[in-house]
A and B are shown apart, each in its own frame.
Chain A
Amino acid sequence: MSVPTRNGVIGVARRRVDGRAKVTGQTRFADDLTLPRMLHCKLLRSSVPHARIVRLDTSKAAAHPGVHLVLTGETFPDCLRGVAGEPRRARALP
């Protein structure tokens, strides 16, 4: 598929700059990083589309060993962005 050119670049297959790193397993993806004091985040999403959230009980989650913080929509009372920009009374996470 290569086409001879005067400058030897156009039409000539070139390795990706990160090709070597990727075939040797050296490329660092987000899941490969470990940083000091790093915490992991777990999103709990509604199992029902377009449902109204009436009540959230996070007490067990907050009490679970190793859990540092539980955030819900109540943490962000001024954030009203929902699906397609529709305002909500509910206390869901955006």
Chain B
Amino acid sequence: MMPTLFQTVYANRDTVARAWKANGGRVVGVIGDAVPEELVAAAGFLPYRLSGDPDLPLTNVRRYLHASFNKGQSERPIRLGWVEAIIEKLLNGSYDFIDYLVIPYTRKEIAQVFGKLRDVARDYPQFRLPPAYLLDRAALGGERAIAYNRARLVEFRGQLEIWSGQPIDDEAMVRAIDSSNRSRALIAKMQALRGISISGVETLAILGTSMVMPRIDHNAALEQLLTGARPAVSGTRVFVGGSAPDTDTLYRCIEDAGGQVVSENHDWGQRIAEHPVSTVLPPFDAIADRYQCYTSALTFPVSKSVAESTARATAASADVAIFSVNADDGYQMFETPGEIAALGLPSLYLSEQPYRLDAIATTARIAAFLANPE
């Protein structure tokens, strides 16, 4: 079967952005799933979500970041493999099409990219790094956090206006909201077909590409995909939790082992399409409202994340659960046992995984689990 547009773009995620740039457009790179894309798009930029690459040698990171003062206690100032890989790509020129970079304060290691890049730019001027913006965020909720985060969004809007050289008007925001909400609606339709005629691997590609393509193009392609006839997919219905995978290796392992991912709880998965932006509120307020209620990388309390996992797995009628937690992801590691206990499904816990998964060994473990999930 021919790969879909989504799979082609997912495999080379910068192709569309480079074409956009070649046509005179400008690109705002974002890290993570929390930056409100509607504001970026309304300013006329293509929002582009950065991702790592487990196969990438960390030549520049080791030379220019790890050759750094770290109190002698930590062997890696940046611990998350995918964050290291993103920095490497920024340093090695892979992201030379990015005009500006937005780094949200959703996880400590994500926010640290801001400071690390600033230090590298100061000490090693040979690197041509995009101007970076730290989008601060209070994570624990409540009225004060809402007010704080809204104020930061106002500042962010101002920064985008400076970058674009023009004000962001309500009409532009409404157009961006319409487009992103349309995408969310289509993805919700797609969600219902997962495990029936859309595989987990295809889903990851559809979701992943929605964050690196203009929404309007992505929506058109997704609409076409959803209206066409599709062959059935099969396999044990699997819920995936744990560390966010920025490649499809884990999903491929699951499919190779006879499973089919129908639902997940990570920030490359279905949750990016949840919470449509309100069309009742004034557009900026609506964007701020979604920004606040959207579950980002950091959730509090643990029970909230556990409840969301359970709800997604239940809604997707998952038969089993597979949790893959990277060795560098202490936050997720302290969450997963609670999620497993609450799910009540037969579960496989792949703990202390490397960022670069061993596909053969992982497939074998999953196959053994799926053969006898009890």
Q: Is chain B a partner of chain A in the same complex?
A: no
Chain B residues with a Cβ under 8 A of chain A? none
Chain A residues with a Cβ under 8 A of chain B? none
